[in-house]
Structure 1
């Protein structure tokens, strides 16, 4: 007998996931907004379903954690990025590049924070200037009305 008989055996079918597991995976792939929409619809159509979804989201940390957004394809890519390729030179290059990108991201976020602070300061300064102008205009109206009286 040859080993060809071993290859002709049909493969075992993949186990079917339950409807709840499929629904959870589908909602996870859509993100946190899909979970919130499902919860709201649950409250609209039958409030115990919405309440159950709310409790499930809190219990599984889907509401306040990053769990559901981390399960998507990006999480698999970032996990793959941390895996060793077997080539030490490439792994060193990859580690340096990832570190450089993280530093650039931190610098960009710091720049955005400074930009927001500058915008807030400019808006506050404009508010204070408008307030001072209005106060001086009110004082000049008061002195005009006293002189006319």
Structure 2
């Protein structure tokens, strides 16, 4: 009876496996910094701070930051069921950007000003960015890896 009440009124989150996998992958990164959501613009919280959704299909920027790196992304509608993710990373420089989703990973590189774009981003899935600055930026104090919280765009 109690078990049935728990399943009905407090079910296990559907994305529990994704959250656990995020934590395990993060522990595998030795010098990773976890960025936090510092500004969610017009985003609407769905369940806690880790899940965000674009309200009414309008583009809204999300800003993540840690001690030394700031990442801003703006999702825009693209192909049916997909998004284009325009991003900017500061300080300026070359970064490798990895987008993780349940469908797999895709990569992009920034230009020298820290701008990047990813096409065909799945809409409505949990997504996570992994940012790796070039060696020159690491020598001036940037961490080797910055990981954003998983968000739903």
- Do both proteins adopt the same fold according to a TM-score greater than 0.5, normalized to the shorter chain? no
**Larger RCO (alpha carbons 8 Å, 6+ apart):** 2
TM-score normalized by the length of structure 2: 0.16
More strand per residue: 2
Tell which structure's C-alpha radius of gyration is larger.
1
